[in-house]
Amino acid sequence: YAIANLPNIAAVIQATGAGGADIGSIFTELKKLGVENQKAAMMAIDTLNIQGKEGAFRLSSLAKEGPKIFAAYAATGRQGTQAVTELGAALQIIMRGAGSEPEAVTAFEALIRDITRPETVKKLKEIGGIQVFEPEELKKGREVMRSLPALMEEIVTKSKGLSSNLALINLSDEAKRALKPVIGEFIQKGDVKSFDQFLNMS
């Protein structure tokens, strides 16, 4: 896998200026999300790079923080290049409410951890009819989280961005920080559209 991706790794090093070890680790992490072949790996990296140029979380920073981010998203059961696009989109939006890349990563991990807790899964369904896991996968006996951007959007729109409603799902301060930019957009515009920009990049 590494040898097959050497031309890709070289191209990404040249494009981003990030270190070889860091870029190599991103390719390793992609494998955890089921991005197996060379073409798919390059597509995934390219999307992350374009998202980083449009947003604030650069690919070179992702290379440093990558292992934690990819491990957290792989644990949700999300797979393939689509999962990489979702991960990148969520990170770019979370970054808007964080002071630094490490803070954004902490918020990203915390949000995934909090919303997949059994008690939170139950509460989200009771209060807002929000399904955390893919219904089709649940029928097969597998817990695969729905897209993180979709969940963030639903949590904010169904709670109307109100802290009193959000308090019911008992999120940690770090997880709340991840939702802050989405809440800000909802309060200002009455809707959440910022994820679309990053999800439609390829």
Alpha helix stretches (DSSP H) within 17-100: 20-32, 38-54, 59-74, 80-95
Q: 12 falls in which pLDDT band (50, 70, 90)?
A: confident
Q: 108 falls in which pLDDT band (50, 70, 90)?
A: very high
Rg (CA), the chain: 17
Q: 36 falls in which pLDDT band (50, 70, 90)?
A: confident
Q: What is the pLDDT of residue 114?
A: 97
Q: Is the pLDDT of residue 112 over 90?
A: yes
Tell me the mean pLDDT in the region 62-72.
Answer: 85
Distances (CA, A) of 8 to 42, 96, 176: 6, 29, 36
Q: Is 55 strand, coil or helix?
A: coil
Q: Is the pLDDT of residue 127 over 90?
A: no
Q: What is the pLDDT of residue 88?
A: 96
In the numeric block, the tokens 């991990």 are attached to: 109
Tell me the mean pLDDT in the region 135-141.
Answer: 95
Amino acid letter, 144:
V
Q: What is the pLDDT of residue 201?
A: 86
Amino acid letter, 130:
I
- Residue 115's closest CA among 185, 172, 180? 172
- Cβ atoms < 10 Å from Cβ of 156: 24
Q: Is the pLDDT of residue 94 over 80?
A: yes
Q: Is 127 strand, coil or helix?
A: helix
- Residue 148's closest CA among 200, 99, 83? 83
**Cα–Cα distance for residue pair 187/161, rounded to 1 Å:** 7
Q: 156 falls in which pLDDT band (50, 70, 90)?
A: very high
For 179, the token pair is 């939702």
- Cβ atoms < 10 Å from Cβ of 189: 10
Q: What is the pLDDT of residue 54?
A: 92
Mean pLDDT of the chain: 92
For 163, the token pair is 């802290």
User: How far is residue 111 CA from its own chain's centroid?
Assistant: 10
Lowest mean pLDDT among 14-18, 68-72, 137-141, 183-187: 14-18
Tell me the mean pLDDT in the region 165-189.
Answer: 94
Q: Is the pLDDT of residue 63 over 90?
A: no
Tell me the mean pLDDT in the region 18-24.
Answer: 84
